[in-house]
Structure 1
Amino acid sequence: MSTSKMAVASKSAEPSILEEKTESGTLQTPLSTPSSASNAPEKPALTASQQTKYDWLLKQAQGWTEVHSKEKPGALADSEKMWLTRECLLRYLRATKWHEKESEKRLQETLAWRREYGVEELDADQIGPENATGKQVLLGYDKQCRPCHYLNPGRQNTDVSPRQVQHLVFMLERVIQLMPAQQETLSLLINFKSGKNRTNTAPGIGQGREVLHILQTHYPERLGRAMIINVPWVVWGFFKLITPFIDPLTREKLKFNEDMTQFVPKEQLWSEFPGGELQFEYNHDVYWPALQKLCAEKQAEKVRRWEAGGKQIGEKEDYLKGYDAQGVSPPPGYSSEANN
């Protein structure tokens, strides 16, 4: 990394919130940055063929003016243009094995789904009751700088409803906002330890299929690794039932009852997992607003940089996150002052 990049990256990595702890020193808020010993793997350069396919897809996306939605058609909004980053286009190309037209089709389908599902309208106050017991927690980073997304089914506090799936989508959007520069995947840590009130912590097959469809169709190439412990026989049966619906590449990322410290630094691994040394206690009144504040600050900075860079479809995510000092070149005649 060049000296200028190191300076930019260091500045962007400064904690946005103060860590809040109990009198005994137990953490109650998210962690803002990965461990200093963690490193995101270097991304391989595109081959000539891959670059050609990306250039084709970028040209198509730059020509889009509307979202082709049956329920909510209309002009492509700035937030939707910003979502269409260079890395976003590449994720869909990789997910379709570099089939240009198929990736274009899937990108357009996801744009329509995001608008129809109301992804950007999901509200923290509306979703909050689902997370009152801490059944999903974003906390710390793994050794490759992936943010850790903990699922705690034993803390289930609501009955099956559309809001349960909205809750997962809401948290996925937050974990994406927490991804540092040079990293675009997450680590999923699932603890099936039984809760006080519920013993059957497996979702229904219908809900499981819906979640898998959303993840595989609209969040491709986002799962870096899934680590799962305390799997009861009921849940093993659930995994066997849904296995045919899981992409083979995704199945390879699933790790059951392994030593999690192989993948997550001890100091950033929640102590509820074997080997973890991070003492964390979920207090909804403290954690929930702190998470929203941290994510809002990171998103606001990305928007500011996207606008300063010329509001480009195909903008670099590392530029939006403050790692690259320069984004893609603005279009001819663009004036940042005129658009502020």
Structure 2
Amino acid sequence: MFLTRECLLRYLRAAKWDSSAAFTRLMSTLLWRREYAPHALPPEHVSPENETGKQWILGYDLNARPCLSLNPARQNTNPSDRQIQHLVFMLERAIDLMPPGQESLALKIDFAGASSGKTPSLSTGKQVLNILQNHYPERLGKAINLSLPWYVSAFYKLITPFVDPLTREKLVFPARMKDDEEAEIINYIPKEHLEKEVGGSCNFEYRHGVYWGALVELSTVWERSYFIKRFKLVE
């Protein structure tokens, strides 16, 4: 179920409590959801996009937000509509896994090992921003960017004019750990919910054949359990 009391409040907050503007934005999203059907994207359709583990949901940040990790170095496909659908699919799964009372997620983007050829194009970046800002308002709690190479910094500068000022404030750029120093990222995500490669203590290895099916099943169970409790449904 999409159109809940919490949903209405998110759109009102995003529109700075202008009810007319919030209504317009919400109607636009309802039309988009009817045509794009993000809640009904088949897992098997977007599964090839994630065979190398370029995205995964792992753990929660210090504010109990589910963490969606993006790993550009693991990019395995050419630009296409399915790439965008894959990101939307993962956003929907992260929302499914939000605990009661939580409405936002943490986005962690690790650019380590990524080449310039794997950076999204400006048009793709604008398309993703449009979806995030217009159809998932108030869903981004923090965007944690790691190991930015110069060309990604340039990319951010190109898309900055298209980023809402409130969204811009949620972007953070913690330094990676050096030698025995603690990684700055633990100021946002606890060690036990963080991969060892970025300064955590979680020994996580992505295996698509195991992870993908488990993610689909877990998000379905959590979503159903949440709405049974939320609306006191009976079997």
Partner letter of residue 242 of structure 1?
I
Displacement of 1:307: 5.6
Aligned to 1:286: 210
Partner letter of residue 5 of structure 2?
R
Distance 2:171 2:223 in 1: 30
Q: Which of 46, 50, 75 is the equivalent residue of 1:131?
A: 50
> How many residue pairs get matched?
227
TM-score, normalised relative to structure 1: 0.64
Aligned to 2:37: 118
Q: Is the 8 A contact 1:127 1:163 kept in 2?
A: yes
Q: Is the 8 A contact 2:100 2:226 kept in 1?
A: no
Partner letter of residue 266 of structure 1?
K
SS of aligned partner of 2:153: helix
Q: Does residue 1:262 correspond to 2:187, yes or no?
A: yes
Q: Does residue 1:298 correspond to 2:215, yes or no?
A: no
TM-score, normalised relative to structure 2: 0.92
Distance 1:253 1:307 in 2: 32
Comparing both structures, which one devotes a greater share of its residues to helix?
2
Provide Cα deviations, 1:160-184, integer angstroms capped at 9, x if missing partner. Answer: 0000000010000000000101211
Provide Cα deviations, 1:210-249, integer angstroms capped at 9, x if missing partner. Answer: 0000000000001111111111111111100000000111
Distance 2:188 2:109 in 1: 14
Provide Cα deviations, 1:113-150, integer angstroms capped at 9, x if missing partner. Answer: 01111212201111100000110110000111010110
Provide Cα deviations, 1:284-337, integer angstroms capped at 9, x if missing partner. Answer: 00000111110010122234345645xxxxxxxxxxxxxxxxxxxxxxxxxx7x
Q: Is the 8 A contact 2:56 2:69 kept in 1?
A: yes
Bigger shift: 285-294 or 116-125?
116-125
Distance 1:279 1:118 in 2: 35
Distance 1:206 1:163 in 2: 15
Q: Which of 232, 242, 246 is the equivalent residue of 2:149?
A: 232
Aligned to 2:105: 186
Aligned to 1:63: none
Distance 1:267 1:284 in 2: 22
RMSD: 1.5
Partner letter of residue 236 of structure 1?
S
Distance 1:149 1:101 in 2: 32
Aligned to 1:150: 69
Aligned to 1:218: 135
Distance 2:103 2:227 in 1: 18
Displacement of 1:96: 0.3
Partner letter of residue 33 of structure 2?
R
SS of aligned partner of 1:200: helix
Q: Is the 8 A contact 1:192 1:201 kept in 2?
A: no
Q: Is the 8 A contact 2:103 2:139 kept in 1?
A: yes
C-alpha spacing 1:103/1:152, structure 2 compared with 1 (3 Å): same
Distance 1:83 1:199 in 2: 37
Distance 1:199 1:106 in 2: 35
| Contiguous gaps of at least 5 residues in structure 1 | 1-81, 310-335
Determine which structure has more spread, i.e. the larger CA radius of gyration.
1
Partner letter of residue 290 of structure 1?
A
Q: Is the 8 A contact 2:57 2:67 kept in 1?
A: yes
Aligned to 1:90: 9
Q: Is the 8 A contact 1:147 1:175 kept in 2?
A: yes
| Identity of matched residues, % | 52
Partner letter of residue 90 of structure 2?
M
Q: How does 1:309-328 map to 2 (within 5 A)?
A: none
SS of aligned partner of 1:138: strand
SS of aligned partner of 1:280: coil
Displacement of 1:199: 4.5
Distance 1:148 1:267 in 2: 13
Partner letter of residue 217 of structure 2?
K
Aligned to 2:180: none
